Structures are given as structure tokens and as C-alpha cells.
Structure 1
Amino acid sequence: MQIRQFQVQRMSAPRDFQPIENRPIDLEIGAGKGKHAVMFCEGHPQSTLYAIERTKEKFNFMAKTHQTQALDNLHPIHADAIPWITHAIFPEQVNTCFILYPNPEPHNSAQRWLNMPFFELLLSRVRAGGTIILASNIAEYIAEAETQLNRVWQLPYVKEKISSDSARTHFEVKYLERGELCQQLVISKPHGYHTRFDTFLPLHGKQHAE
């Protein structure tokens, strides 16, 4: 599959958008109700996680949990991930990006993360030596992602079976309780890996450039 170039100029800023500082962060795309985000921030107090969720109901649940837990290193973001990342995140700013159980888009394969032009910009936001963790309970989704990593993105990865006692997200708990096979790809960005967006600054964050 040939991937066309992502058109950054078409991305409007999300409503109530606020730029972030250019310092190392972790990122979660599609954070849902924030179960993994809270667990990660509790276990990694020195890390800063931006957890993006588009659905209002799920975001509100995560935001309420965030307030209750008083986690200073968790930043819930209510937005569509693609425009928010385009406007907010600097090159090589992300240590680890979590994409846990994304919508498999059964009727529109072009909207799967590794099939989208946006994935190239996302790679440019991950630091050299950083990782993207993609988890799914759908074997065909994982297999297609492996094909894209090998043929298009040419990135090294490790495929892992997720332990039956893992409980990072509500979906993960449900799938594992059903006895379904859950897998993840731990995708590495090698030193010297280049994209067409390596020097592209976020559209509304240039005043924070170092």
C-alpha cells in the first residue's frame, strides 16, 4: 500500500486548544475512561502523560478520575488526536506513544493508524529510541500492522502476547475475561530514522520552541 503525504495545512486547531511546552512527554491516543492513563501516571511519577480522548462521555469520566486522584503528571485532552498532535507536539518530544485497542475500522481500512498518512507525522514526534505500543484483540489488525511496518514504514518491532491478568484498559479486561487473544506490537524508532516532518514545528506551538 502506497501512503500519500499527510496534509498538515488542512488541520484546524481543536476547540479551546492550548499549546504545550517543548519537553519530553508520553502520549496515549484514544485513552477512553483513563484506566491506563491513571495506572501509568501512578507508576511513573517522573513522567508526564498527555491522554487524548475524543468521546465526550469517556473524557468526562477520565477528567473526573484525574481530579479525584490529583495526578499532576496526567493531562487529559478532549480532542481528536490528529489535529491536536499536529498543533501541539514537537519533533522527537514523545518517549512512548500508547495506542491501546483502537477502533479496527472494519469498513474503512484506510482509517487504521498504520495505513494513514498521519502515521508519518506521528513517527516524527517520537524521539529516536522511543516506542509506539499498539494493542488489539483482533489478529487480522495486528497482522496488517506488521505488514505495514515491514513494507511501508520499515520499522523494527516486537510482537507480544498480552498476559491474561493484564488490566490496562476496560476493553482489555473484557477481552481477556472472554478468553480472547490480545497482542501488542512494541514498535521502535531507530536512531537515524527520517520522516518528511522531522523539522516541522507544531502549528500553534512555535512560541514554545527551544
Structure 2
Amino acid sequence: MPIRQFQAQRMHAPRDFQAIANLPVCVEIGAGKGKHALLFSGQNPQSKLIAVERTREKFLAMQKQHLIEGQSNLQTVHADALPWVVHALFPAQVQQFFILYPNPEPHNPAQRWLNMPFFEFLLSRLQEGGSITLASNIPEYIAEAQQQLIDVWKLPFIKEVIAADSARTHFEIKYLERGELCQQLKITKPAGYSTRFDDFQPLQGKSLKAEDSAAEAQ
């Protein structure tokens, strides 16, 4: 069944939204308390990571730990990911997206990441050759996402079993300690891959340009 087109123009900016520069970044969606974000930014000082978390309690825990550790290449954002991505990110800006152990939405399959119209918009923000890492402890979730990549999104991917000693997130540690099978799909955007949002500029970018034009006209 075809996925309807995402209505990006209807997305309002998050509260207290702050624009970012159009420079290469990595983005973690649903960063939780920030365990992976802090690890990644510490291990990859040459990469800038923006870690987005919607839940206030988890965001504050991540922010607190970030203040302690002090990685200058990590930016934490308290926002719902969908409107933040629409307003903040530029086309082909992102080197890597991380979506680690998202809510499996057992009662609402349409809200799973690869079933959402928004996934097309997310792909438009990814660089050619860039990747999306999607991890889950639910085999059916991974199997469905894999099928969507084949049938709908037509994207190459690698499926990997996550090592038993991996400890990227608090959820990952818990699931692996229980002996659960944790897997990930590493999805790549090939050269020449196109979406309907490749020319869609951030709404904040449009408004800035409009203000600049008005200033020049005076």
C-alpha cells in the first residue's frame, strides 16, 4: 500500500526553536538520557551530533550529564523530532541518523518509523552515502522495517545482530542482559536517490531570506 505524502508545510516550529547552521551533522532521534549521544560525541570528536529528546525528564538527565562531561561537539535539543527536523535541517545535511530502540507502537503500526510519510522527509535531509541506524529488540519490528525498505523505500541496507556486550543505550543494556535478540538495520542513501522534498528548505530559512530581502529593498 503506498504511503501518502508528508505535509511538511503544516508543521509548526517547536517551542523555543533555535535554528542551526547548514553544516554537516549527525542526529540522534529519541536520545533518551543521552548514553549513546555522550559516547558517540566522545569517540568522534570530528563529528557534530545533535541529540533530540521529547520527554522532559530524560532530556534534563541528558543535559545534566552533558554539562558534566562537556563534549563541545554535542548539542542537546528538547523537542518533538518531527517538527524539529522539518524546521532545523537542510536538504542533504545529515551524515548519520540514529534511531535506537524507538517505541514499537504495538497498537498503532502507522506510527512506526518506516511506515510514516515523514520517513521520506527524513531521507531528504540525509547526504548521499549517509546512513540511518535503526535498532530494536523486537524481531517483528526489524522484519517489517526490512520489508518496507525493499518494497517501499527501495534502499540498500545491512541487517546486523548487536553484540551481547554492546552498551550504547540504557535500553540496549537491559535487553541484552535479559538475553533478548537485539538487531539493527544500517540503511544507506545511494547516489542519485531522490525524494519529493529534496528542494524543501527549512521554514526558518525561508523566513530569514524574506527578512533579508525586505531589508535590502529598504
TM-score, scaled relative to structure 1 = 0.98
Provide, for residues 130-163 of structure 1, a one-character-per-residue CA deviation record: whole Å limited to 9, x for no partner.
0000000000000000110000000000000000
Partner of 1:172: 172
**Which amino acid counterpart does residue 24 of structure 1 have in structure 2?**
P
Tell me how far apart the structure 1 counterparts of residues 119 and 19 of structure 2 sit (CA, whole Å): 21
Structure 1 stretches of 4+ moved >2 Å: 205-208
Partner of 1:36: 36
**Which amino acid counterpart does residue 50 of structure 1 have in structure 2?**
I
Provide, for residues 58-97 of structure 1, a one-character-per-residue CA deviation record: whole Å limited to 9, x for no partner.
0000000111111111001000000000000000100000
1:52-71, aligned counterparts within 5 Å? 52-71=52-71
1:1-210, aligned counterparts within 5 Å? 1-206=1-206, 207=208
- RMSD in angstroms over aligned alpha carbons? 0.8
Structure showing greater radius of gyration is 2
SS at match of 1:204: helix
Q: Point out which structure has higher relative CO (alpha carbons under 8 A, 6+ apart).
A: 1
Tell me how far apart the structure 2 counterparts of residues 57 and 170 of structure 1 sit (CA, whole Å): 15
**Which amino acid counterpart does residue 2 of structure 2 have in structure 1?**
Q
Give the superposition deviation at 1:205.
2.9
SS at match of 2:171: helix
Tell me how far apart the structure 2 counterparts of residues 9 and 197 of structure 1 sit (CA, whole Å): 11
Q: Runs of 5+ in structure 2 lacking a partner?
A: 210-218
Tell me how far apart the structure 2 counterparts of residues 186 and 37 of structure 1 sit (CA, whole Å): 17
Tell me how far apart the structure 2 counterparts of residues 142 and 55 of structure 1 sit (CA, whole Å): 24
Task: Check conservation: 1:20, 1:205, Cα contact below 8 A.
Answer: no
Range moving further from structure 2, 198-207 or 178-187: 198-207
Tell me how far apart the structure 2 counterparts of residues 99 and 203 of structure 1 sit (CA, whole Å): 24
TM-score, scaled relative to structure 2 = 0.94
Change (3 A) 1:105 1:164: same
Q: Runs of 5+ in structure 1 lacking a partner?
A: none
